[in-house]
Structure 1
Amino acid sequence: MKKSMFKSLTGRLVILVLMLSMIFTTGVFAAVDVNSNDSADGTAIDTQATTDIGVQYRGHVQNKGDVPLPVGSFVTGPDELGSRGEGLRLEGLRIELTGDIPAGAGISYDVHVQNKGWQGPVSNGAYAGTTAQGLRIEAIKINLTGLDGYEVYYRGHVQNKGDIPVVDESWGWVKNGAQLGTTGESLRLESIQIKIVKTENYTALGDSITYGMSATPGSGYVNLFYNHLTSQTGNENLQLVNLGVPGYTSSQLLNQLQNDPATMAALSQAKVITISVGGNNILAPVIAGLAVAFQLDPNSPTFPADLATALAQLGAADIITAALPEIQTSVTASVTQFGTDWPQIVATVKTLAPQADIYVTTLYDPINLQDPLYAVFDPAIQTINTAIKTPGAGYKVADVYTAFANYQGSEPLVNFNWYTGNLDPHPTTAGHDVIYQCHLSAGFIN
């Protein structure tokens, strides 16, 4: 009886591993999904000016001379420089940054002047435009230089057009070198407002679940949580950076955090971070163990087909039976490695993004409680979840394991189903929605 049960369990494990090998060795690369609610030529979003780096400016206005008074003083962004309703042209201006400005950072600007055209960019308080020539500024472009993580927004008032730009029937903003004003229409720019906005993002870290594999496009938990975040006041301009990589283990995520410049840059601007990792610490050793047992290259693009051929040969069951103890040892070691990696992952994220709110997810078990394989995988999953749920770790825990285990709905949360032949362990679209709901109810472990 025990031998028969072992063969049945081994057979199911073989089928499961075959399917997992096809899922997790497909060579899918990292997805970097950067979304912004800004349009190319303007935005109706009322983004808030940053408090650590600002901007000030002064100018020369027809019939008024240098403004504001006293001469040499500045308007602080985003207050208005110039006039409205008086028919007076803005003839020139100076713009400079304020606050804790990094070495090499600056602001440059170029103006289009009546009868002269574009004058060429000047920077950091230099004068752009004319004086005593009776010539109007018609348009302006403004850029930041050497100041990653910030954007410059500006808007103005133009003869015969009023407040520009108009976005979604509201007075919006242009940014980062876009043209404000007109050329070829002989219309004066009468006033301008400028502000510096700190770029912030939601960075999602992890594996294929973070990536959104098996969910309807746009319905992964990362996208759902992002939509929720941007619906909140103050987050309207939040960008999404999805750095999920299918197949990543905890060690690979740690390496990404410590050595990938793009990841470090994203985290330096992160307001919210989510982390979902650990499943591959269990799955990868199983796949690697079978590769060794059958003398296959798991990195080969033909590995799934090669493994299928190997499993079909006579004596495959005996090879697997002989390999199982070593595979179990490797799984145990990989789960132990997660326990070593996890505190370093958290510490690295906090160092790179001390300003961010951090959410982490527990692993769910894709296998039904009544299935014999439940006893194979669940203890390893629980060990990883214990590490994730460390009290006082300073992050919010989205307890996906408990939510999936207690789920009473009719729609399946996981694609995995022996009886339909679907052995994909990823969440369904409904599963991603439950993971998203777990983020909404996430809390600190004390």
Structure 2
Amino acid sequence: MVKKKIMTTLSVVALAGSLLSTSAFAAENNGKESLVALGDSITYGYNLGKNNDHPSKKAFPYIIGEELNLRVSDLGVPGWTTIQLLAALQNNEMFQESVKHADKITIDIGSNDLLQAFADGNVTNQEVAPILNNLKSIILKVRSLTDAQIVVYNIYNPFQVTDTYRHVMGNFLLQAINPQIQAVVASLHDSEVSVADAYDAFGQNQAIYVRANDIHPTVEGQEQLAAIGYKAFIFESIKNRIFK
């Protein structure tokens, strides 16, 4: 069971992650395992502080880090799509070194791809297929660098219930796309890769979990994301590897 603390407002005390050399990783570790969080502005904790010049300590990776006593490297980059994250993992030595030394990995990416595709009010199969292919390539690239446990987040509906058209369309699209994310993970036959179900965790509670006039999580939304990630890491032996 997830600790009560993770579901309430927390004062997060976690070491800020940094991209380190091999020797620096050893020096900084101090016996702690590490969590590397890959993703976009959701992972970054966008709009949770006075400015957005660094990842927010209220973002879900830091909450998980405190609960599991992990050293956290939040590598979320606002605005990134699956293409950009995949490119960083393939070409950026600092990203690669960070992943190589991770004990646990979170991947939360794809929301910006879908928002871009949805700009015209419609998302086609031709637009979805590359997102899923990129996600699979991201996971495989991470696995080629580390044997760490990996938790992949699916996509929550960012549109408020009162934004009726976009909310309904968001649910319609995500109810089709999120099972495909689960299928991508299942196709890998990797017992150390699981799915955290952000879609069900947020449900119809966007008023609580998504910032008004925004698409990013509130503090409470970040805590929900942390809770399902926490469960995925803790209950790694469960056969049904989607965590809500």
TM-score, normalisation: structure 2:
0.73
Question: What is residue 61 of structure 2 aligned with on the other side?
Answer: 222
Percent of pairs identical after alignment?
27
Matches within 5 A, 1:130-149: 147=23, 149=25
Matches within 5 A, 1:325-340: 328=122, 332-340=125-133
Measured after TM superposition, the shift of residue 360 of structure 1 is 1.4
Structure whose alpha-carbon radius of gyration is higher: 1
Match of 1:207 among 11, 32, 40: 40
Question: Which amino acid letter does the alignment assign opposite residue 357 of structure 1?
Answer: Q
Deviation beyond 6 Å, 4+ runs, structure 1 = 196-199
Question: What is residue 5 of structure 2 aligned with on the other side?
Answer: none
Report the number of matched residues. 208
Question: What is residue 214 of structure 2 aligned with on the other side?
Answer: 424
- Which protein is richer in helix relative to its size? 2
Matches within 5 A, 1:261-280: 261-280=93-112
Q: What secondary structure, in the 3-state scheme, does the structure 2 residue paired with 1:372 have?
A: helix
1:150 aligns with 2:133: no
Q: Deviations over 1:28-76 (max 9, x none)?
A: xxxx9427xxxxxxxxxxxxxxxxxxxxxxxxxxxxxxxxxxxxxxxxx
Over 3 Å counting, the alpha-carbon distance change for 1:282 and 1:413 in structure 2 is: same
Question: What is residue 401 of structure 1 aligned with on the other side?
Answer: 199
Over 3 Å counting, the alpha-carbon distance change for 1:441 and 1:150 in structure 2 is: closer
Question: Which amino acid letter does the alignment assign opposite residue 42 of structure 2?
Answer: I
Measured after TM superposition, the shift of residue 242 of structure 1 is 1.0
The answer to whether the Cα contact below 8 Å between 1:271 and 1:357 also exists between their aligned partners in 2 is yes
Question: What is residue 381 of structure 1 aligned with on the other side?
Answer: 174
Q: Deviations over 1:223-272 (max 9, x none)?
A: 10111121xxxxxxx43211101111111111111111011000110011
The answer to whether the Cα contact below 8 Å between 1:202 and 1:241 also exists between their aligned partners in 2 is yes
Question: What is residue 105 of structure 1 aligned with on the other side?
Answer: none
Q: Deviations over 1:323-343 (max 9, x none)?
A: x4xx736x6433221111121
Measured after TM superposition, the shift of residue 211 of structure 1 is 0.5
The answer to whether the Cα contact below 8 Å between 1:335 and 1:383 also exists between their aligned partners in 2 is no
Determine the C-alpha separation between the residues in 2 that align with 1:362 and 1:252.
18
Q: What secondary structure, in the 3-state scheme, does the structure 2 residue paired with 1:202 have?
A: strand
The answer to whether the Cα contact below 8 Å between 1:267 and 1:349 also exists between their aligned partners in 2 is yes
Question: What is residue 357 of structure 1 aligned with on the other side?
Answer: 149
Question: Which amino acid letter does the alignment assign opposite residue 211 of structure 1?
Answer: Y
Measured after TM superposition, the shift of residue 438 of structure 1 is 1.1
Over 3 Å counting, the alpha-carbon distance change for 1:352 and 1:377 in structure 2 is: same
Over 3 Å counting, the alpha-carbon distance change for 1:412 and 1:268 in structure 2 is: same
Over 3 Å counting, the alpha-carbon distance change for 1:372 and 1:401 in structure 2 is: same
Gap runs ≥5 in structure 2: 1-14, 50-55
Question: Which amino acid letter does the alignment assign opposite residue 257 of structure 1?
Answer: L
Determine the C-alpha separation between the residues in 1 that align with 2:221 and 2:32.
31
Question: What is residue 226 of structure 2 aligned with on the other side?
Answer: 436
Matches within 5 A, 1:238-257: 238-257=70-89
Determine the C-alpha separation between the residues in 2 that align with 1:382 and 1:253.
24
Determine the C-alpha separation between the residues in 1 that align with 2:95 and 2:81.
16
The answer to whether the Cα contact below 8 Å between 2:154 and 2:198 also exists between their aligned partners in 1 is yes
The answer to whether the Cα contact below 8 Å between 2:160 and 2:210 also exists between their aligned partners in 1 is no
Determine the C-alpha separation between the residues in 1 that align with 2:214 and 2:145.
34
Question: What is residue 412 of structure 1 aligned with on the other side?
Answer: 208
The answer to whether the Cα contact below 8 Å between 1:364 and 1:401 also exists between their aligned partners in 2 is yes
Question: Which amino acid letter does the alignment assign opposite residue 58 of structure 2?
Answer: S
Matches within 5 A, 1:35-434: 147=23, 149-151=25-27, 200-216=33-49, 217-230=56-69, 238-286=70-118, 324=120, 328=122, 332-354=125-147, 356-368=148-160, 371-390=164-183, 391=186, 392-394=189-191, 395-405=193-203, 412-415=208-211, 422-434=212-224
Question: What is residue 52 of structure 2 aligned with on the other side?
Answer: none
Determine the C-alpha separation between the residues in 2 that align with 1:211 and 1:278.
14
Question: Which amino acid letter does the alignment assign opposite residue 345 of structure 1?
Answer: I
Q: Deviations over 1:191-235 (max 9, x none)?
A: xxxxx97785210000000001133542111110111121xxxxx
TM-score, normalisation: structure 1:
0.42
Question: Which amino acid letter does the alignment assign opposite residue 351 of structure 1?
Answer: S
Instruction: Give the superposed CA RMSD.
Output: 3.1
